[in-house]
Amino acid sequence: MQSSDLLFGHKNSLALIGMPGVGKSTIAKRLALTLDRVFIDTDQLIEREAQCSLQDVIDKSGYQKLRLLEEQVIVAQTYEHAVIATGGSVIHSQKALAHLQQSAYLVYLEASIETLVDRIDNWDSRGIACDPKQSFQSLYSERTEAYSSYADCVINSDGLSPDKVVDAIISWISELV
């Protein structure tokens, strides 16, 4: 069986969900190459649509505007044979998640808060869509339960290299067939 044949039915795509810093874009790029799929990064689509960085959207219009743009961009796309790296705040839009679920399996890349804090060194410019008064701990607690509830698959990435995370996802896909 070829890796491009691993996904079946009307869901021939994967969408990676999870906290900022978990590695969604890095893993999605590698998965897209491995599975011979199109790589889509919704943060890049938002920046193209807004013609500025995610942080600029937050600074100029607030985090709710970024979440709205994210929903609009995701719902406007068609996902065929793709691996999608979503923004961390996609979990706040049932409309965007429902749209993704029509053609993609949702893979939650999980990591401990300690791992994420170690990985993120650009808090002020990263474009994290949350209330500026909200702590990262609070955001983590709020989102992790929601990610789990929507996920078709949960992969804990703590201590794993990107290649090992890709291997774990491919192993999960092979169990679907």
**pLDDT tens-digit series, residues 5-36:** 555 556 899 999 999 999 999 999 999 999 99
> What's the confidence (pLDDT) of residue 2?
47
> What's the confidence (pLDDT) of residue 89?
92
C-beta separation of 28 from 15 below 8 A: no
Tokens of 57: 């959207």
> What's the confidence (pLDDT) of residue 135?
86
> What's the confidence (pLDDT) of residue 121?
74
C-beta separation of 104 from 11 below 8 A: yes
3-state helix, strand, coil in the chain (%, to 5): 55, 15, 30
Place of tokens 């896909």: 173
Q: Which amino acid is at 113?
A: I
Residue 71: how many CB atoms within 10 A of its CB?
21
> What's the confidence (pLDDT) of residue 13?
94
The predicted model scores a pTM of 0.92
Nearest residue to 27 (alpha-carbon basis) of 114, 97, 86? 86
Tokens of 76: 């406007």
What is d(CA 33, CA 27) in angstroms, rounded to the nearest whole number?
10
Looking at domain 10-164, which of 3.30.43.10, 3.40.50.300, 3.40.50.880, 3.90.180.10 is its CATH number? 3.40.50.300
Tokens of 49: 């649509």
Helix (H, G, I), strand (E, B) or coil at 128: coil
> What's the confidence (pLDDT) of residue 3?
46
pLDDT beneath 70, residues of the chain: 1-10, 122-127, 177
